[in-house]
Every structure is written in structure tokens, then in C-alpha cells.
Amino acid sequence: MDEDLNVTYITLDGYVEVHKYRYIYFMIIFVAYILILCSNFTIVYLICIHRNLHEPMYVFIATLLINSVLFSTAIYPKLLIDLLSEKQIISYSACLFQFHMFYSIGGSEFLLLAVMSYDRYVSICKPLQYPTIMKKTTVITLLALAWLVPACQLVVSPTLSVNEKLCSFKLDVIFCNNSIYKLYCVRSRAIFIYGVFSLLSLALFPLLFILFTYAKIFKITYSSCREVRRKAAQTCLPHLLVLINFGLLGTYDVIIVRLESDIQKSVRLIMTLQMVLYHPFNPIIYGLKMKEINKHLKQLLH
């Protein structure tokens, strides 16, 4: 606690030999962040300038990539500053803000993937009704809900946590995630219940909806001609790869609090770095697997 400024600081103790390898870590994270910005914005740029990519599917992809940039920006700049600092600390209020950004953007990711699965379902299973169902106003509404619902819903937990009494001022992590609950003297039952509700509504239910829609898609396309199956695989496979990748990330984040005391700090650091390095794969997946994006990307590079 800084008495003069009345600011509570939290020590982030998830680093291993950071003084010895700080510049190596810094360069890896810095290069990864630059690659995330460049690769994601390149795909978004291609979608914006080419009229044949102004379809709901590609608009959703662009939104997902922008979400990746926001997610990374909530973590990487602070991480880079910490790597060059003697002490890795963060104010409690900033920690709550990072916590909110991390999970609200993560919730948006699941909702966007759910919206994309619905778009693919309508496109493949109800092609004649697609223009009527996926109108411009519908697309805008779905995108707005995918961003606003998690942001508004998850602001409750940090708000409830502001006045919680702290008995610890150290987190065994490199950024503020659900480990923040270990700081409290008494874990609030209300915060716990609301956290479970948020996990179900923003992660589990969208995941079940996605699995349901893809099961319907594969059931219908299985009995269709080879061309329909090829089209379904071409458009659905990238979304499934991103879903699996992000699902593993979410699973790790949920269980890490339970496992922190049972695994070595070096192993925990490596796992956490893998989690924050997840987002560079999104533009690679869409750039290589989506035919139209891949075509325009090759033209741009040549």
C-alpha cells in the first residue's frame, strides 16, 4: 500500500529468472505483439478493400481478428513494461481493469464464434433464406451484442471486488486473471456465484450452441453431394480450429488457479506464455484456409 497516494499495489510473481533472461523474453513478446498487430490488420485491411469480401462471414472474421488485437493489447504492453522493470507490480485498480478486459474480450470471442457458426449454418443448410436472415441490420446487431453483453455483464465482478479486503498482495501470475480471488481474506460467495453464471453464459452455453450448429451442418452435408461437403469443410474448418484453440485456452485459465500450488513456476510460466501467444494463429488459420482471403493475400504479397 502506498500511503501517500493511497494506492494498493500487487506484486506479479509469475516470472522465472526474469533478470537473467529479461531481454530474451522481451524480444519474444515484442516480436509476437508486432506480428499480431501486422497479421491481424493485414487480413482486416483485405476484407475492407475488396468488395467480394463484404459478406457477413468475412465481416465476422474481421471482427474476430480485431478482437484478437484488443485481447493482446490488454496484456502485452504491461507485460513488456514488466520485463524491463526491476519489480513487476501493478496497482489493484489497474489489475481489476486488466481482469475485466481479459475476460470480457474472451467472452466476446466465444460469442463471435457462436455467431459465426450460426452464419455458416444458415448459409449451408438454408441457402435460399440466407439473404433474408443475415441482413445488414442483423449482422450489426449480432456484432454489437457479442461485444456489449460480455463488457456489461463482466463489469459486475470488478465492481463487487473493489471494496474487498485484501490479505495478500502477491499473485503467482504475469497478468491479472482469476487468480485475483486469492488476494481476498474471505472469498465472496456473491462474486463466486456470479463468476460461475458468467462462465456458463459466456463460454459454456455458446460452446454448446456451436457444437450443436456444426453437428447439424455435418449431418446435412454428409448426405449431400461432394461439392457441398467440400464447401462446408472449407468454410467450417478454420472456425473449428480457432474454437478448439480458444477452448483449450479457456480450460487452462479456469483450472490454473486449482493447480498453481501443484506445478513448478517455470512450467506455469511456459503454459501462460503459450496462452498469451495464442492469438497469432488466428490470421494464419484464416489466411491459409479461407480461399478468397488466401487469394487476395497472395496478390498483396506479390
User: Residue 18: its pLDDT value, please?
Assistant: 60
pTM for the whole structure? 0.86
Is 105 a member of any domain? yes
Is 157 a member of any domain? yes
Is 2 a member of any domain? no
Is 3 a member of any domain? no
Q: What range defines the domain where residue 247 resides?
A: 9-301
Is 100 a member of any domain? yes
Q: Which residues of 69-101 are buried (b: 16+ CB within 10 A; e: fewer)?
A: bebbebbbebbeebbeeeebbbebeebbebbbb
Count: domains in the chain = 1
Is 39 a member of any domain? yes
Along the 302 residues of the chain, how does pLDDT read in single tens digits?
Answer: 444 445 788 888 766 656 667 788 788 889 888 988 888 898 899 899 988 888 898 899 899 889 888 988 988 899 888 888 888 889 998 999 999 998 999 899 889 989 988 998 898 888 889 999 999 999 999 999 999 999 999 999 888 888 888 888 888 788 888 888 888 888 788 888 888 898 889 988 998 999 899 888 888 877 777 776 777 777 777 777 777 777 777 777 777 655 555 566 666 666 666 666 666 566 667 766 677 888 888 888 77
Largest Cα separation within the chain, whole Å, is 72
Is 181 a member of any domain? yes
User: Residue 148: its pLDDT value, please?
Assistant: 94
User: Residue 6: its pLDDT value, please?
Assistant: 59
User: Residue 277: its pLDDT value, please?
Assistant: 66
**CATH number for position 75:** 1.20.1070.10
* Residues whose CB is less than 8 angstroms from the CB of residue 258 and which lie 6 or more positions away in sequence, other chains included: none
Is 1 a member of any domain? no
CA distance 190 to 197: 11
